[in-house]
Amino acid sequence: MKQFANALAALAFGAVMSTAAFAQSALNEILDGGVLKVGTTGDWNPMSVRDPATNSYKGYDIDIMTELAKDLGVEVEFVPTDWKTLVNGVSAGSYHMTGSASISPARMKVAGFSESYIAVEIFPFTLKENADKFDGYESINKPEVTVATTLGTTFEGLAREWFPNATIKVVEAPARGYQEVIAGRADVFITSNIEGSTLDDKFPVVRVPGTEPRAPSPIAMLLPQGDQIWINYVNNWIKVKQAGGFFETTAANWGL
């Protein structure tokens, strides 16, 4: 009888703990409040682009999050953030999740990630008129070459790692590294193949000759690290949507 009583007490304790965990989950908060809060930078074309005139957002990420909110039966609210505070925002509860972000060991220390649903590769870019000055990565890794990058992005760390001998110029959001190159204040910037394909359509920039893609990186949503209930929901939602072709169709809509 004593063993039975102990087992019953353990089951009851487990049930209470499970209920408490659900009550503390972002999923419960979202369903109760009717709003999914998503942190997004609005400066990563074509993933998330903010229109300052209307304060509205568009892009691949925006379509993904809007669909997630629809399936949850709630409204979506896009919360402005920047790259240097992106992780802190989700950790502090300023939003329930973020849009796409590169999975990195540094971010994994303090935040959770969903399963990946897209990947990027990184290239260096320069102005078309300066392309003949470079050939390969080592041609960039020189003190007289200025490499521009944005504070808090994965590109900042990669720029310092790849070009330790170059002059690294760090700008803070909403400024971006590529803007420094376009303005003539830097020689090179690095970015993903996704953003690069949109930039070379709009601006006179090209991939640096002789450079192969580097740092293939899976992309996922940032989530509260300890909220396994919410992480499980998002991961299973991704699987369902992948099976139905949603991610593939949405990527095609944005030229990815």
Amino acid at 171: V
From residue 173, give the alpha-carbon distance in Å to each of 21, 160, 226: 36, 18, 28
| 3-state SS assignment for residue 96 | coil
Assess contact for 155 and 177: CB atoms under 8 A.
yes
In tens digits, the chain (256 residues) has pLDDT values of: 444 344 434 444 443 344 444 458 999 999 999 999 999 999 888 999 999 889 899 999 999 999 999 999 999 999 999 988 999 999 999 999 999 998 988 899 999 999 999 998 999 999 999 999 999 999 999 999 999 999 988 899 999 999 999 999 999 988 899 999 999 999 999 998 888 888 988 899 999 999 999 988 899 999 999 999 999 999 999 999 999 999 999 999 998 8
Residue 47's nearest CA partner among 61, 27, 67 is: 61
What DSSP designation does 49 have? E
Q: How many residues does the chain have?
A: 256
Residue 151, phi then psi, degrees to nearest 5: -55, 135
pLDDT at 191: 92
Q: Tell me, what DSSP letter sits at residue 45?
A: T
DSSP state of 141: -
Dist CA 77 CA 151 (whole Å): 25
